[in-house]
Every structure is written in structure tokens, then in C-alpha cells.
Amino acid sequence: MTQVRAPADAAITISIAFVHGILSGVRARNEAIDDFLADAGIAAALLEQPSARVTAEQFVALFRSLTERRNDDLLGFVSRPLRRGSIAMIFRAATSAATLGMAMRRAAHTFGLLQDDVALVPLHDGPLSGWALRFRDPGAGQLPFFHELSLRVFWRLLAWLAGGRLPAARFDFAFDAPAYAGSYGPVFTAPLRFRQPLSAMWFEAAVLKQPVRRDETALREFLRDAQGQVIVPRHGADSVTGRLRQHLQHGQPAWPGLAACAAALHMSTATLQRRLAQEGTAFQQLKDELRRDLAISRLQTGQRAGDRLGFCRQPRLPACLQALDRQCPGPVPAARQPLSAPVPTRVAQTRKAGDHPAFLVSARADQCRRSMIVATPWPMPMHIVARP
């Protein structure tokens, strides 16, 4: 399989709902999914846990496994496979345009030449202009993830052509709000409307008159990691949430408080709280999400020789390690044994519910590391620390 490069923000994790979504096309065709999951290092048991998450690297690997094994850039969502290289062809057609509006017209035209099930059509609504999905095959439009994927891909294409950032005015979806709609925030960073006649992305009309700021050389570099660039949500410096997340991540193992973070971002605590609220989050919520993402990322990748990750002040054995005990045969790896206790046969049998053990995750647990990404309730009383 193609080597997957780690995303710029290695702590990003993805809800298991989107894993179900990305597999929904092949499942609708009654195709087995085991090989795809194995390629990405995702335990099949996670699909039964609604609160589970996977790393961005795993999610991109799953996407690439689907495209490579099926030779289909659209993952089984349309009746005629979109052969590998088709998305690159669409991007290349758009890059040669003079303006963003013209680029989108060329992308829509090329997309229509390559498959028959869905068309990208232009829309206008007062000061807004947009592009909508119009399904010629009703069956192709029944899977919500195909709507989500299509809008995400073409929006990110336009944003990349604009120089890296292109705020959308809103997103419309031609289906009811799903149970996981709360996970849309990092993926679709604009107001959302459900139960609309068509799924569409909208922009200020003047935005689409902007020039294309990319060339063939930039396109070749972009295509080296196009899937990761397009489908993985980014926590960039163009939002307060992104800046705060980066500050917290770079400041580890310390977890600065609200006042210290506000000072680092050159604003008052009241302003920081207000700006976070406007972006749909809060200071403690963001810290909890980052702790979760870092824990999942480090558990999945393991630690290089000499590196250690401690999970401290847990009231009981963490759910992720309980699941690992069940999933990995044989004696528990030494990397997961308590720091200051005799080596037990099973960690779960050596602690009482009220104990507070500290654990290590290291390269010695590598044989089981792909099973370690499991559902864990968050927020939870966990503190991630680096141990010498």
C-alpha cells in the first residue's frame, strides 16, 4: 500500500461515525471490509463502539486502501468506478483556470465526464453563489457520506486554489441531521442547514471572482498527499481555536491555564472565552479534546524506544487498556504494567477500583498497538505526562 505521511497536526482524531461513512459505499455493494480495516490498522470491534475514534493517519490509510484495492477514487459510491487518477485529472483541469468560479466550472465539467450518477450544478441566491449535487441516480444519493465527501473535496479544492483558505458562507445537506452531526464542526466550518432540497456549498459571490493562486508545480506537490490534505480537518492558525490548540500542544507536558493562554494569544481572558464561544467551543472542552486526541494518537503509534507516555490519576484501569487486555492474547506486555509493582499476569487482576496506577505505553507493546484505539469516555480525569 502507499505510504501514508502523518498529518501536520498529528494529534487529530476522527469520529468512528466517519469510518462507517467512508465504508458505506462498499457495504451497500455487500463487499467485505476486513482487508480495508486491516490496511488502516483499525480494529473491527471499534465499529461497534459509537464513541470510538481513530487517528487521522488511520483514516487517510483507510481512504487510500479503498481507492487502491478497488481502483476507484469514489470508494464505491457511484455505479461506474472513478478510476484512480480521476480526482487528479479534475484538480488539474481546475488549476489551469483564471478565477475560482471558472475553476469550479471546469472541475464540474470534468467530474460529469467521468461518471453519470451525479452532477455539480451552479446556484445563486442573492449575494451568494454556490454549487450543488444533483443526483441522476437516486440510489447514489441515499448515502449521506457521499454528500459529505463530495462537498468536502470540492470545497477544499477551491480553498487550495485560493491559496489555502476560503471561508464558506454555509453548507446545505439534503438529509436529516445525523446522530453524529456534532462532529461536523471541524469538517464543515460554516453554518449548516439540513433537510434542504439539494446538498450544496455556498460562498459570497465576490469570492469566486478571485484569481487562482496555484500552478502546475504546486499541483504536483499537492497531489502527493491529496487525500490527507482534503479529507482531514485542519486546526490552522486562522482561528482562535486553532491557535489555542497549537499553543497547548506545543507547551506540553505543561497544561497552562486560561489566563496564561490568553496572555500568550495577546488577549484578555474574557475575549478568549468569547471568541471560543463564537467558534462553538470552550477552553476546558478544547483541552479535553486535545488530551483525548493526543492519548489516542500516542496509543496508536506506540512510543519509540526510550519514549514513554504516562496515564496518571486514573480511578481505575483505563477502558482502552481493558479492551487491549481482551483483544491481545498472551501475557500483558511489560509496557502496560504498573510503574512500581511486581509484574502481574493481568493488569486488570492486580488493582482495586479505588487505586490510581500509572501506566506506560512504549514500543514493547507494538504487537498490540493497532488494537489500542478504542472508545474512551471524555472528558475524563486523565493527565498526560512525559516520564523520563
Dihedral sign from CA coordinates of 79, 85, 91, 94: negative
69 lies in the same domain as 205: yes
- Does 100 fall in a domain? yes
Residues 254 and 217 in one domain: no
Domain identity same for 277 and 178: no
Tell me, yes or no, whether 227 lies in a domain.
Answer: yes
Q: Is the peptide bond before 253 cis (omega within 30 degrees of 0)?
A: yes
Contact assessment for residue 37 and residue 15, using Cβ atoms and an 8 Å cutoff? no
SS3 assignment for the chain: CCCCCCCCCCCCEEEHHHHHHHHHHHHHCCCCCHHHHHHHCCCHHHHHCCCCEEEHHHHHHHHHHHHHHHCCCCCCCCCCCCCCCHHHHHHHHHHCCCEHHHHHHHHHHHHHHHCCCEEEEEEEECCEEEEEEEECCHHHHHCHHHHHHHHHHHHHHHHHHCCCCCCCCEEECCCCCCCCHHHCCCCCCCCEECCCCCEEEEEEHHHHHCECCCCHHHHHHHHCCHHHHHHCCCCCCCCHHHHHHHHHHHCCCCCCCHHHHHHHCCCCHHHHHHHHHHCCCCHHHHHHHHHHHHHHHHHHHCCCCCCCEEEECCCCCCHHHHHHHHHCCCCCCHHHCCCCCCCCCCHHHCCCCCCCCCEEECHHHHHHHHHCCCCCCCCCCCEEEECC
Q: Tell me if 4 is assigned to some domain.
A: no
34 in the same domain as 177:
yes
Q: What is the pTM of this model?
A: 0.67
> Which residues form the domain of 276?
236-281
- What angle is formed at CA 200 by the lines to CA 86 and CA 128, rounded to 5 degrees? 120
Whether 203 and 105 map to the same domain: the answer is: yes
pLDDT in tens, the chain (388 residues): 444 443 444 468 889 999 999 999 999 999 999 999 999 999 999 999 998 999 888 999 999 999 999 999 999 999 989 999 999 999 999 999 999 999 999 999 999 999 999 999 999 999 999 999 999 988 889 999 999 999 999 999 999 999 888 889 999 999 999 999 988 887 898 899 999 999 999 999 999 999 999 999 999 999 988 888 788 876 555 577 777 777 787 777 778 888 888 888 888 988 888 888 877 778 887 788 777 777 776 666 554 333 434 333 333 334 444 444 444 433 333 333 333 333 333 333 333 333 333 232 333 333 334 333 333 333 333 333 333 3
d(CA 257, CA 259): 6
Answer whether residue 5 is part of any domain.
Answer: no
User: Which are the contacts of 312, defined by CB distance < 8 A and separation ≥ 6?
Assistant: 356, 358, 382, 383, 385
Instruction: Quote the cell numbers at residue 268.
Output: 484578555
* Structure confidence by residue, pLDDT tens digits, 179-227: 999 888 878 988 999 999 999 999 999 999 999 999 999 999 999 888 8
Residue 53 C-alpha from the chain's centroid: 9
* 8 A C-beta contact, residue 208 and residue 100: yes
CA-to-CA distance for 144 and 310, rounded, in angstroms? 39
Residue 1 lies in a domain: no
Considering 262, 281, 300, which residue would you say is the last residue of a domain? 281
What's the per-residue H, E or C state across 267-284? CCHHHHHHHHHHCCCCHH
Rg (CA), the chain: 22
Task: Tell me the CA distances in angstroms from 303 to 42, 297, 310, 387, one per residue in order.
Answer: 18, 10, 11, 12
| 297 shares a domain with 173 | no
Q: Which of 281, 315, 347 is the last residue of a domain?
A: 281
325 and 292 in a single domain? The answer is: yes
Confirm whether 124 is domain-assigned. Answer: yes
Instruction: Quote the number of domains for the chain.
Output: 3
Same domain, 138 and 226: yes
Q: Decide if 97 contacts 103 (C-beta within 8 A).
A: yes
Please check whether residue 6 lies inside any domain of the structure. no
The Cα 291–Cα 377 span in angstroms is 12
Answer yes or no: do 127 and 161 share one domain: yes
**In contact, 338 and 357? CB cutoff 8 Å:** yes
Short-list 191, 190, 185, 373, CA closest to 285: 185
Beta bridge partners of 383: 312
pLDDT digits (tens, 9 = 90+) for 336-366: 333 333 333 333 333 333 333 323 233 333 3
Whether 93 and 162 map to the same domain: the answer is: yes
Domain membership of residue 255 (yes or no) is yes
| 89 and 205 together in one domain | yes
291 and 277 assigned to the same domain: no
